């Protein structure tokens, strides 16, 4: 999930919230409205195992599988924080027992380097209702032990890799961000014996996030993430490569060349770095040729 929920009114029966989420590997706009109040003060949170019923209010022609990978009209079990369906998890977090909500999900037609939208992706809203049947108590980050945070962060890192390999770039970025948020809360509790591994995992997460940002056409963000990775581990080849790719996207060819040459010093046989240098030389040659033609026109 991206961004915090925004509440539009203080009337409990009409409270709505909206947020940016991920469905089927693509960003979408989600709006939520309470249809029926729940019971009790306890609320579902990260780690809660929820039993819910989802109902679809779309026509029979409108399939829901590409948005919500759960069955309709039957009890389904979902664990908040697992990232299996960010739309549903975003809805469930904060719900109480017996609460029923309406969801409006609108896929956003964003075209990225990773993939482009194709049918059935469109821009009309899909409507669902979600009812909370029961849930177990979860834990906020401040309630977790150091070991629980560490295990959960590594779990998110692993799942992020799986989602990236599956082409779900937004979902992978969400997983990496979840892991990093947990690592931040662990820093003050870090035993000296764990410091080296902690720094290494944190560097890898920044580098992995940079890979997502490159796929999503966000070179400035990728540059920042890769630089953070390299501050933690200056010899991280993935960080060097992804920062070089970000520099190339931004037209900063000299800086890209520095990173690629350092990468080749660390891994002389890196095919990706060798190819990147060839691509860089071709871009520089092309730009120089264009500049020469433009300059020649000024004097003719």
Question: pTM for this structure?
Answer: 0.77
Give SS3 for 293. helix
Q: Which residues pair with 135 in a beta bridge?
A: 50
What are 177-183's contacts with CB under 8 Å, separation 24+?
Answer: 177/209, 178/81, 178/83, 178/153, 179/152, 179/153, 179/154, 179/205, 180/153, 180/205, 180/206, 180/209, 181/141, 182/141, 182/144, 182/149, 182/152, 182/153, 182/156, 183/149, 183/153
Spatial strand order of the sheet with 75-79 comes to 2-7, 16-23, 26-36, 100-107, 126-135, 49-56, 75-79
Cα–Cα distance for residue pair 98/227, rounded to 1 Å? 47
Let me know: does 129 contact 106? Beta carbons within 8 Å. Answer: no
Cα–Cα distance for residue pair 55/36, rounded to 1 Å? 14
Give SS3 for 71. coil
**One-character DSSP codes across 196-210:** HHHHHHHHHHHHHHH
Q: How many CB atoms lie within 10 A of CB 16?
A: 17
Give SS3 for 168. coil
CA angle 184, 187, 192 (to 5 degrees): 150
- pLDDT number for residue 67: 66
Encode the chain (300 residues) as per-residue pLDDT tens digits: 343 333 343 444 454 688 888 776 677 889 999 999 999 899 999 889 999 999 988 876 555 665 677 888 999 999 998 877 788 998 999 999 999 999 998 888 754 433 444 444 456 788 999 999 999 998 888 888 999 999 999 999 999 999 899 888 888 998 899 899 999 999 888 888 888 999 999 999 999 999 999 999 999 999 999 999 999 999 999 999 999 999 999 999 999 999 999 999 999 989 999 999 999 999 888 887 776 676 676 666
Q: What 8-state DSSP symbol labels residue 259?
A: H
């Amino acid at each position: 999930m991206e961004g915090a929920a925004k509440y539009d009114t203080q009337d409990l029966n009409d409270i709505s919230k909206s947020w940016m989420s991920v469905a089927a590997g693509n960003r979408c706009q989600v709006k939520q409205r309470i249809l029926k109040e729940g019971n009790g003060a306890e609320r579902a949170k990260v780690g809660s195992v929820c039993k819910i019923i989802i109902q679809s209010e779309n026509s029979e022609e409108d399939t829901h599988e590409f948005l919500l990978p759960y069955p309709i009209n039957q009890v389904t079990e979902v664990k908040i924080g697992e990232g299996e369906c960010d739309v549903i998890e975003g809805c469930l977090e904060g719900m109480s027992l017996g609460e029923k909500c309406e969801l409006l999900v609108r896929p956003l037609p964003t075209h990225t380097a990773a993939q482009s939208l194709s049918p059935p992706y469109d821009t009309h809203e899909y409507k669902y209702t979600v009812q909370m049947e029961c849930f177990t108590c979860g834990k906020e980050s401040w309630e977790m032990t150091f070991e629980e945070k560490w295990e959960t962060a590594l779990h998110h890192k692993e799942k992020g890799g799986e989602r990236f390999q599956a082409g779900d770039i937004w979902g992978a970025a969400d997983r990496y961000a979840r892991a990093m948020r947990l690592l931040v809360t662990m820093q003050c509790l870090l035993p000296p014996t764990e410091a080296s591994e902690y720094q290494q995992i944190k560097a890898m997460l920044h580098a992995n996030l940079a890979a997502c940002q490159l796929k999503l056409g966000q070179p400035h963000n990728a540059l920042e993430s890769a630089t953070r990775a390299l501050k933690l581990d200056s010899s991280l080849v993935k960080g060097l490569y992804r920062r070089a790719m970000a520099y190339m996207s931004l037209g900063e060819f000299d800086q890209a060349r520095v990173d690629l040459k350092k990468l080749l010093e660390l891994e002389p046989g890196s095919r990706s770095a060798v190819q990147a240098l060839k691509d860089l030389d071709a871009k520089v040659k092309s730009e120089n040729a264009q500049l020469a033609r433009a300059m020649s026109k000024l004097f003719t």
